Amino acid sequence: MAGLVEQLAWDSEFFGFPIGRVSLDGATAETLPTIEAEARELGIVCLYGALDPVAVDTAYLVQTFGHRLVEVAVLFGRPDVPYAVRPTASTVRRGTVSDLPGLEDPIATLAPWSRFATDPRFGPDAAQRMFHAWVERAARDGEKYMLLISEDANGVTGLSTHVRAKVPRIDLLGVVAPGSGASQALMAGFVEWAGRGPIEAGPCAARNIAVLRFLEHGGFSIVRTQYLFHRWLDEPTRLLP
């Protein structure tokens, strides 16, 4: 059963130690030790795991093998229909690398909602550094990724980053002027960039009720929900009752 663990080059380089990923769907008491042995052979320090929440018994089982639940992630989708924007003083434009020094505040609003912030082995500072790296990547790329910035007469009101994939996706959206309409303006900019066809948003933390409501009011619906786990291989397997 070799080949269950995928090594993640970007995450490993960014955090400074080997990181991998595995699907925990269908995991059993027999396959979990095999997964762990493969991860150890690859030198993995932290193993990300994802699981469909419908597998209730598996969700408990993997935790008895040391996989920590760090997030319930929700991916949203929206069909190809017009996106209505209410009047706002915020205008939206493409962001560039020169904008990065002025984006720390909206990036800071995102960090607490990261699964990395909930894991003390990473922590809020690491989450904020990671989101800063995502924003910088979007600013430098402009093709596969894109950075949008909203601003009014007082300065930056928010930012969003986007991924051009088979289904274009908005992966970050943070505003420092809640209630100003900046979020809707940024979403409208994404819809324009994505072109015709369906779009996606997320994955979003299920605990972030404000974002869930914003997406629901914007015509999005749930595509997929996943439990996300971290397994630190330098910690012993704790077999729970």
Q: How far is CA 230 from CA 29, 32, 114, 207, in A?
A: 18, 14, 13, 18
What is the rounded distance in angstroms from the CA atom of residue 19 to the CA atom of residue 222? 28
The answer to pTM > 0.85 is yes
Q: What is the pLDDT of residues 14-34, one digit of tens each?
A: 999 999 999 999 999 999 999
Q: What is the pLDDT of residues 112-157, one digit of tens each?
A: 999 999 999 999 999 999 999 999 999 998 789 999 999 999 899 9
* Same domain (yes/no): 183, 133: yes
pLDDT attached to residue 177: 85
Domain extent at residue 140: 80-197
Q: How many domains does the chain have?
A: 2
Residue 221 counted as domain residue: no
Residue 36 counted as domain residue: yes
pLDDT attached to residue 139: 94
* Same domain (yes/no): 90, 162: yes
* Rounded mean pLDDT, 206-221: 93
pLDDT attached to residue 108: 93
Residue 120 counted as domain residue: yes
* Rounded mean pLDDT, 183-191: 92
* Same domain (yes/no): 163, 87: yes
